Structure 1
Amino acid sequence: MSSRRPYPGGGPKCRSTVSVVICAYTEDRWEYILAAVASVRSQSLPAVETLLVVDHNLPLLDRLTKRFRETEGVRVLANAGPRGLSAGRNTGIAASIGEIVAFLDDDAVAERDWLLHLTTGYDDPRVMAVGGRTVPMWASGRRPAWFPEEFDWVVGCTYRGLPPGRVRVRNVLGGNASFRRTAFDVAGGFATGIGRDGDKRPLGCEETELCIRLSGASPDAILLVDDRAVIHHRVPAERERFGYFRTRSYAEGLSKALVARSVGVRRGLESERRYTTRVLPAGVACGLRDALLARPGGAGRAGAIVAGVALAAGGYVVGSFRARRGGVAFRVAEAGGSPESEGAA
């Protein structure tokens, strides 16, 4: 989650070279991966390269290598670090040549002007990261009536409660984000041990931890989200069910405990306080009002918000207890995504 305030922009107009990193881990997403790459290759502002980083899956690595062997501007790499999304991104950072490194989920497609809008934010030399807006593509064709927009982060998408436009944020969302290369020189890469690891428990927050670490290392740094930089993220049928909502909400609490342990409770939960005290109560009230007016899904949305908060809080308590006992550790990649050094959690 990220707090936002308006950003007026500034600085001379320029266009930096952009490397796009797409991390993949399963052949089940083969068609999605191809669609993601195609959306990057059709950008109005071309990327200097697309890097496909495969996470410890030799059959997928071989298949993608053959598929793109003769495709100019596309490189296929094996994750050089431990299994997981963070190490995969660090591998892409280390191999990339662009002045800006952008990240796209392997099950998402970017609109044609995605990179154009992301790079516009870097006209101001103080800007170190720019993210965009992520729109859900529901497998069923429409949002489940019970699923609150305030919890769209559960499925990796932009959620209700965030103001429109180009605004300053605490952190960008990793599936639709970009960083100036020098950001990694200042803060290092993504911390392993926090984010996702294939189809295991859906942890997250690796981009939150990096952004907070970046702001701490460079207090003048500006991080932005521009809602014109749009991608469309696929939400499979199993993630439309309450079971996934429950698991992901709990895992978010676990992840937030790791972030708080790394960067401190005040910075780690700064945006979440506003979200839980303002945005979510308004969502519950709206759901209850819809229920009273006999509108479909109102009571379900209100109940899901209450359940989501309780589950995330429970995960945070458990995660904090584990971290205090020393049962969790993570590693922070050095500048440029090079070999990793120990971090404490």
Structure 2
Amino acid sequence: MPRTEFSVVICVYTEDRWPDILAAVESVRGQSLPALETLLVVDHNPALLARLRAAYGTDPGPGPGSVRVLANAGPRGLSAGRNTGIAAARGAVLAFLDDDAVAEADWLRHMASDYTDARVMAVGGRTVPAWGSGRRPAWFPEEFDWVVGCAYKGMPRGRAPVRNVLGGNASFRRSAFDAAGGFAVGIGRDGDRRPLGCEETELCIRLKRAVPEALLLLDDRAVIHHKVPLARERFGYFRRRAYAEGLSKARVTRQVGMGKGLESERRYTTRVLPAAVARGLRDALLGRRGGAGRAGAVVAGVAGATAGYLVGAVRSRAAGPDSWAVAAPVPAGPRQEGRP
């Protein structure tokens, strides 16, 4: 069977993350299954674009270890940056890595093993937090690790079908974009201070509608380590991110309907979170460190996300259908031999 060829897309936007960007690229170069190429897509930052081009050159051509530096060809934001990478990529499968994360050496190899099944259209991996303080804050519940862009308690383990993959550690066949279009512009992070998201959720739901037989998998062997700066270990950020998640979910459900838009969240809120509160209260009664804080954080997180959802639902209705997001068309990139 021909080898699966990966193009890895890393979207970047600030020179403040320069060491992190270099580390992310080096982790791709160190893969046991070499990537065809790494694409660095710069989000409307000419200084960073020039600095990266000076570091990596212009277009070295495809090959293990090659890095191409591109300017975001669309409006400011993560979705348009990813679409720029999709349009330019030469690989059969496109993998997405956050600019402040490093992939373990077998990241791509584990993902590639899942694509031997022709029905698989997307594979996501497990994202582990790398706490800036050196350890998890005692009050921070594992069930809310999605707040810092990581896998959270309550997600499936092993290799399992999922509704959607998480965008910072994910891969898609190119044919998935041919069928469903690109990431929706107008949802997700766009340089604004509010940490919105859910653009990958909307894409995955749209993909399943376009290709009903498609399988989307979580393979927790495909591991990356995501940097969590000290500012994101604070309760203020936790509350803002939970509220923003509610806003984002309202946008998604406006587009795809509540049935699909909140399918996974129902089990999470009715089973996983009540159990988390109970564990936190039990630990508090037993005198264990952080128990009361974790229980309180779960309650605060649910309240924040609910408030954000209600506000977002009102705003989405006022804005009208489909006014917030348009799926950007994705031109077919050059084809490579050995597509899965």
Shorter-chain TM-score range: over 0.9
The residue that corresponds to 1:186 in the other structure is 179
- CA distance in 1: counterparts of 2:100 and 2:219, whole angstroms: 21
- CA distance in 1: counterparts of 2:91 and 2:48, whole angstroms: 25
Q: How far 1:336 moved relative to its partner?
A: 3.9
Q: How far 1:14 moved relative to its partner?
A: 5.1
- CA distance in 1: counterparts of 2:3 and 2:114, whole angstroms: 10
The residue that corresponds to 1:26 in the other structure is 14
Q: Aligned to 2:271, what secondary structure does the other structure show? A: helix
Q: Deviations over 1:59-94 (max 9, x none)?
A: 000000000017761000000000000000000000
The question of 1:104 aligning with 2:97 is answered yes
Q: How far 1:172 moved relative to its partner?
A: 0.2
Q: Aligned to 1:20, what secondary structure does the other structure show? A: strand
Which residue, 194, 197, 209 being the options, matches 2:190? 197
Gaps of at least 5 residues in structure 1 are: 1-12, 339-345
Q: Deviations over 1:28-75 (max 9, x none)?
A: 000000000000001000000000000000000000000001776100
The residue that corresponds to 2:57 in the other structure is 69
- CA distance in 1: counterparts of 2:177 and 2:274, whole angstroms: 37
Alignment-mate amino acid for residue 17 of structure 2: R
The question of 1:139 aligning with 2:127 is answered no
Q: How far 1:24 moved relative to its partner?
A: 0.2
Alignment-mate amino acid for residue 8 of structure 2: V
- CA distance in 2: counterparts of 1:251 and 1:89, whole angstroms: 21
The residue that corresponds to 1:304 in the other structure is 297
- CA distance in 2: counterparts of 1:16 and 1:31, whole angstroms: 29
| CA root-mean-square deviation | 1.3
1:25-64 alignment runs, 5 A limit:
25-64=13-52
Instruction: Check whether the contact 2:156–2:218 (CA below 8 A) recurs between aligned residues.
Output: no
The residue that corresponds to 2:324 in the other structure is 329
The residue that corresponds to 2:163 in the other structure is 170
Q: Deviations over 1:195-231 (max 9, x none)?
A: 0013521000000000000001111000001000000
Q: How far 1:16 moved relative to its partner?
A: 1.1
Alignment-mate amino acid for residue 205 of structure 1: C
Q: Aligned to 1:125, what secondary structure does the other structure show? A: coil
The residue that corresponds to 1:341 in the other structure is none
TM-score, normalised by the number of residues in structure 1: 0.93
| Distance change in 2, residues 1:199/1:32 (3 Å) | farther
- CA distance in 2: counterparts of 1:105 and 1:160, whole angstroms: 21
Gaps of at least 5 residues in structure 2 are: 334-340
Instruction: Check whether the contact 2:86–2:94 (CA below 8 A) recurs between aligned residues.
Output: yes
| Identical-pair percentage | 73
Aligned residues: 326
Alignment-mate amino acid for residue 334 of structure 1: P
TM-score, normalised by the number of residues in structure 2: 0.94
Alignment-mate amino acid for residue 194 of structure 2: R
Q: Deviations over 1:173-193 (max 9, x none)?
A: 000000000000100000011
Q: Deviations over 1:124-150 (max 9, x none)?
A: 000000000000000000000000000
Q: Aligned to 1:123, what secondary structure does the other structure show? A: coil
- CA distance in 1: counterparts of 2:202 and 2:328, whole angstroms: 12
- CA distance in 2: counterparts of 1:14 and 1:337, whole angstroms: 21
- CA distance in 2: counterparts of 1:309 and 1:14, whole angstroms: 46
- CA distance in 2: counterparts of 1:146 and 1:16, whole angstroms: 42
- CA distance in 1: counterparts of 2:140 and 2:313, whole angstroms: 28
The residue that corresponds to 1:272 in the other structure is 265
The residue that corresponds to 2:221 in the other structure is 228
The residue that corresponds to 1:9 in the other structure is none
Instruction: Check whether the contact 1:48–1:73 (CA below 8 A) recurs between aligned residues.
Output: yes
- CA distance in 2: counterparts of 1:337 and 1:298, whole angstroms: 51
- CA distance in 1: counterparts of 2:209 and 2:295, whole angstroms: 36
Instruction: Check whether the contact 2:161–2:216 (CA below 8 A) recurs between aligned residues.
Output: yes
- CA distance in 2: counterparts of 1:169 and 1:162, whole angstroms: 9
Q: Aligned to 2:90, what secondary structure does the other structure show? A: coil
Instruction: Check whether the contact 1:146–1:300 (CA below 8 A) recurs between aligned residues.
Output: yes
Alignment-mate amino acid for residue 78 of structure 2: L
Ranges of 4+ aligned residues in structure 1 off by more than 2 Å: 335-338
Which residue, 280, 283, 304 being the options, matches 2:276? 283
- CA distance in 2: counterparts of 1:163 and 1:87, whole angstroms: 29
Instruction: Check whether the contact 1:100–1:180 (CA below 8 A) recurs between aligned residues.
Output: yes
Q: How far 1:331 moved relative to its partner?
A: 1.5
Q: Deviations over 1:94-134 (max 9, x none)?
A: 00000000000000000000000011110100000000000
Instruction: Check whether the contact 2:86–2:330 (CA below 8 A) recurs between aligned residues.
Output: no
